[in-house]
Amino acid sequence: MTRSTNNMYKQILTVSTKYHIPMMNRNQTFLCLVLLMLWSTGTYAQTRKDQPVYKDASQPIESRIDDLLSRMTLEEKVMQLNQYTLGRNNNANNVEETVKELSAEIGSLIYFDSSAGLRNTAQRKAMNESRLGIPILFAHDVIHGFRTVYPISLAQACSWNPGLVKQACAVAAQESRMSGTDWTFSPMIDVARDGRWGRVAEGYGEDPYTNAVFGVASVQGYQGDDLSSPTRIAACLKHYVGYGASEAGRDYMYTEISGQTLWDTYMLPYEEGIKAGAATVMSCFNDISGTPGTASHYILTEILKERWQHDGFVVSDWGAIQQLRSQGVAADRKEAAQKAFLAGVEMDMMNECYDNHLATLVEEGTVPMSLVDDAVRRVLRLKFRLGLFENPYTPEIPEEERLLLPENVDIARQLAEESMVLLKNENHTLPLKNVSKIAVIGPMTQEKDHLLGSWYGHGRGRDVESIYEGLEKEFAGTSQLLYAQGCAFDGEDRSGFAEALRTAAEADVLLVCLGEKRAWSGENASRSTLALPAIQEELVEELYALGKPIVLILSSGRPLELCRLEPLSNAILEIWQPGIAGGTPLAGILSGRVNPSGKLSITFPYSTGQIPIYYNHRQSARTNQGKYQDIPSTPLYEFAHGLSYTTYEYGTLTASATTLKRGEKLIVEIPMSNTGAMDGAETVHWFIRDPVSSISRPVKELKHFEKQLIRQGESRTFRFEIDPERDFSFVDATGKRFLEAGEYQVIVKDQVVKVQLVD
Ligand code: NOJ
């Protein structure tokens, strides 16, 4: 201690002893305590004023919401229930204008930018200029990747690898959150059985269980265990419910869905997604047998919130509230607002309904304030869970540190590889061995943009590896590639045919790369036929006349009608819309470096006239009659069809018991050997059939699947533990679950074991 400090201490001590503190009597002590309490309460009040409970991260979320709600005016509450868009580009002038027009109290914005700058500018306005500083929630359609675009969802399901899909969604979440997006409008888990509907690309195919499993995987991938992590985002199950049943595959059309079908087919993925903790749900556009989903109290409140106890919120689809007018259930926007809100839609996406009318509806007494509070509570809950009050801004870091990271591109590549489906392989046409000249022909060969598919996020054509680029790398030094485009995707111009024929004449094998442009599927992209345009089929017909082996490579956002192309082709490989990294996996399959393992998540009809055709249809009255007179009645490629280069020998399917009681479980097993000449990954699909029950059941229903790698010469056992309450039961038209005594069949390929459930 220095001398002077020492002196200072001495001085303090001297001063304190100068004042004599008298002894207090009991009354004085009591008075003192009261004063102390008042003082401390005052100090506490003072602290609370400085640091409201809602801003105190140490408080429980529900207490923070209570506190914030108690401070909000009706207008502030209503603004939390609206979502607008935030610009479409980051041109400096536009940004300034956009942010100037923005309400600082807005609840959510659809964010189109791929970096955080604009978000942070808008967020600063909310944090600094709004009375309570409530952060904005930023959303974007991240459907199959943000910048690292991976295959469309229909293809992902063909991988039968939900673990990999979870990883891909985690990549999408990381890229999104680090680029300013907190919330994705994904997954789409609408069971879809009509390939004419363009949105068939966005879901996981025709089967309810498959949609449920992949929906859950993607929710887990996006959200992880902690939404406040800087690499996770909130998911949104959409479009609740039945959108996939759009009549005749025409988008936005009404849907005719009985209560039984609603529960049998459409609800399961949503129920499972909610159990998995999906933060939000989007209401649908479709009118379900007379009540638009967006105005359905039954669907949105009785089932979602009351029965399933969802504590997140429902956002309308874009314009779905004001469209209640076109659907004929609301006379004007005000009535539409009232109907949607009372039904259970908490957030208005681009309708101009809640912002203009909700406060008036409350003041007039037609919408209860308690419901507004509940809705705002749900929106705030997500903002708190995302940690937006503590971390409203996104660190602005360079693209190369957050997008297209090599390990993430590897995941996209792996998923593309596992989702490609070998549909036909006559006489081992593939893999290509000892081929000196390969002709690569067709409009998809050099394409990049179309491989991205619909809803490609911030994907760029320049990030995509084309089919041709993949082939060049794979076959460099072993085979010579010859290229001719042959024709465009559509139109009538045959002028390229001659060159294609000349090129083909020089080659040993023809790879014909056909398919759909990316805008031919997705939203508002219905087609009357699943057939490719005539010009593409004609190109194959002409090439066929050369008598050379033809391998069709198909890239599409839907199942295709192949009844004319199939007889002309020796092998067919469906690569879907694989995203940025499809070229190498495709080339690997062609060369035999990769053994294909994808299997269809949706039936390929023989022709469009068979639609709707799907594996799990109900049992019918005369199974041998009622066939088409002019075409076959069976599909060209069934659900779960997919070939491999190796052979798998399925052993005998066995069950641990032939009779079981309620509450007991059953194990069914099937051994499998890889008897071919290559390692491979095989997926076993386990179906259940309930031949007689009080409500007619589908001919079979998928209840479990498993994919395992089996090395050449190795054997593995596939196992399914059946819980009858879960796997043998069925729902009625109200969603009530039943389990009836009687016979059940467990089916793997063409093997069946019968089991009796006894009371
Ligand atoms: C309409 C689509 O139906 C929906 O899926 C999408 O999330 C919204 N627009 C927002 O872009």
pLDDT in tens, 330-352: 999 999 999 999 999 999 999 99
319 CA to middle of ligand 1, Å?
Answer: 9
Full strand arrangement of the beta sheet holding 480-484 = 421-425, 571-574, 550-555, 509-515, 437-441, 480-484
User: What is the reported pLDDT for 91?
Assistant: 66
Characterise 103 by phi-psi region: left (phi > 0), alpha (psi -120 to 50), beta (else). Answer: beta
25 CA to middle of ligand 1, Å?
Answer: 75
**What integer is the mean pLDDT of 430-451?**
98
361 CA to middle of ligand 1, Å?
Answer: 27
Tokens 């055709």: give the residue.
613
User: What is the reported pLDDT for 93?
Assistant: 66
- Of 376, 384, 381, nearest in space to 80 by CA: 376
Hey, what's the torsion of the CAs at 247, 252, 254, 260, to 10 degrees? 80
How far apart CA 378 and CA 397 sit, in angstroms, is 31
How far apart CA 678 and CA 433 sit, in angstroms, is 14
Asked whether the beta carbons of 126 and 106 are under 8 A apart, the reply is yes
- Helix ranges, 159-230 (H): 162-177, 208-223
How far apart CA 144 and CA 137 sit, in angstroms, is 21
- Helix ranges, 301-425 (H): 333-343, 354-363, 369-385, 406-419
User: What is the reported pLDDT for 50?
Assistant: 74
Full strand arrangement of the beta sheet holding 348-349 = 183-184, 137-140, 108-111, 82-86, 348-349
Could you give phi then psi for residue 588, rounded to 5 degrees?
-65, -40
Could you give phi then psi for residue 264, rounded to 5 degrees?
-65, -40
Up-side HSE of residue 4: CA atoms within 13 Å toward CB? 0
Question: How would residue 623 be classed by pLDDT, with cut points 50, 70 and 90?
Answer: confident
Report the chain's mean pLDDT, rounded to a whole number. 93
Q: What is the pLDDT of residues 15-71, one digit of tens each?
A: 232 333 333 344 444 443 443 343 333 333 444 557 899 999 999 999 999 999 999
Output the residue whose Cα is nearest ligand 1's atom 1. 318
Cis peptide before 241 (omega within 30 of 0): yes
User: What is the reported pLDDT for 46?
Assistant: 40
Hey, what's the torsion of the CAs at 512, 574, 473, 427, to 10 degrees? -70
What is the three-class DSSP state of 443? coil
Question: How would residue 5 be classed by pLDDT, with cut points 50, 70 and 90?
Answer: very low
Q: What is the pLDDT of residues 248-292, one digit of tens each?
A: 999 999 999 999 999 999 999 999 999 999 999 999 999 999 999
Quote the tokens at residue 88. Answer: 């479409």
Higher pLDDT, 99 or 506: 506
How far apart CA 37 and CA 694 sit, in angstroms, is 70
317 CA to middle of ligand 1, Å?
Answer: 6
Buried b (16+ CB within 10 A) or exposed e, 669-679: bbebebebeee
How far apart CA 673 and CA 378 sit, in angstroms, is 52
**Number of other residues whose CB lies within 10 A of the CB of residue 648:** 16
349 CA to middle of ligand 1, Å?
Answer: 9
Question: How would residue 11 be classed by pLDDT, with cut points 50, 70 and 90?
Answer: very low
Q: What is the pLDDT of residues 209-223, one digit of tens each?
A: 999 999 999 999 999
Q: Is 155 exposed, middle or buried (0-12, 13-18, 19+ CB in 10 A)?
A: buried
Q: Is 330 exposed, middle or buried (0-12, 13-18, 19+ CB in 10 A)?
A: buried
With vertex at residue 503, the alpha carbon angle to CA 499 and CA 504, rounded to the nearest 5 degrees, is 115
How far apart CA 273 and CA 294 sit, in angstroms, is 19
Measured from the Cα of 185, ligand 1's closest atom is 7
User: What is the reported pLDDT for 14?
Assistant: 29
User: What is the reported pLDDT for 572?
Assistant: 99
Pocket residue to mutate for ligand 1, from 85, 141, 236, 240, most atoms within 8 A of Cβ = 141
**What integer is the mean pLDDT of 544-564?**
98
**What integer is the mean pLDDT of 563-587?**
98
Full strand arrangement of the beta sheet holding 680-689 = 659-661, 751-758, 742-748, 680-689, 701-710
Q: Which residues are catalytically annotated?
A: 317
Asked whether the beta carbons of 511 and 484 are under 8 A apart, the reply is no
Q: What is the pLDDT of residues 573-584, one digit of tens each?
A: 999 999 999 999
151 CA to middle of ligand 1, Å?
Answer: 19
- Of 141, 172, 140, nearest in space to 156 by CA: 172
Pocket residue to mutate for ligand 1, from 83, 184, 282, 348, most atoms within 8 A of Cβ = 282
User: What is the reported pLDDT for 8?
Assistant: 32
Output the residue whose Cα is nearest ligand 1's atom 3. 317
Q: What is the pLDDT of residues 669-719, one digit of tens each?
A: 999 999 999 999 999 999 999 999 999 999 999 999 999 999 999 999 999
Pocket residue to mutate for ligand 1, from 109, 144, 246, 317, most atoms within 8 A of Cβ = 317
Asked whether the beta carbons of 424 and 643 are under 8 A apart, the reply is yes
Of the chain, the percentage scoring pLDDT greater than 90 comes to 91
Measured from the Cα of 239, ligand 1's closest atom is 5
Quote the tokens at residue 354. Answer: 């809640």
Asked whether residue 6 carries a pLDDT value surpassing 60, the answer given is no
User: What is the reported pLDDT for 518?
Assistant: 98
How far apart CA 272 and CA 209 sit, in angstroms, is 9
Asked whether the beta carbons of 139 and 83 are under 8 A apart, the reply is yes
**What integer is the mean pLDDT of 114-129?**
96
User: What is the reported pLDDT for 607?
Assistant: 98
Q: What residue ranges line ligand 1, CB within 6 angstroms?
A: 141, 185, 238, 317-318, 523
Buried b (16+ CB within 10 A) or exposed e, 191-228: bbbbbbbbbbbbbbbbbbbbbbbbbbbbbbbbbbeebe
Quote the tokens at residue 459. Answer: 């994907």
How far apart CA 703 and CA 698 sit, in angstroms, is 12
Indicate the DSSP class of residue 708.
E
Output the residue whose Cα is nearest ligand 1's atom 9. 318
**What integer is the mean pLDDT of 567-596?**
98
- Of 702, 737, 738, nearest in space to 720 by CA: 702
C-alpha distance across the termini of the chain, in Å: 88
Q: Which residues pair with 745 in a beta bridge?
A: 689, 754
Quote the tokens at residue 450. Answer: 């179309």
Asked whether the beta carbons of 614 and 699 are under 8 A apart, the reply is no
**Number of other residues whose CB lies within 10 A of the CB of residue 534:** 13
399 CA to middle of ligand 1, Å?
Answer: 26
User: What is the reported pLDDT for 87?
Assistant: 75
Output the residue whose Cα is nearest ligand 1's atom 11. 141
Q: What is the pLDDT of residues 81-102, one digit of tens each?
A: 999 999 776 666 667 788 888 9
Instruction: Decide the pairing of beta strands 437-441 and 480-484.
Output: parallel
**What integer is the mean pLDDT of 179-188?**
98
Give the dihedral sign, CA 369/373/379/380. positive
Pocket residue to mutate for ligand 1, from 185, 280, 282, 350, most atoms within 8 A of Cβ = 185
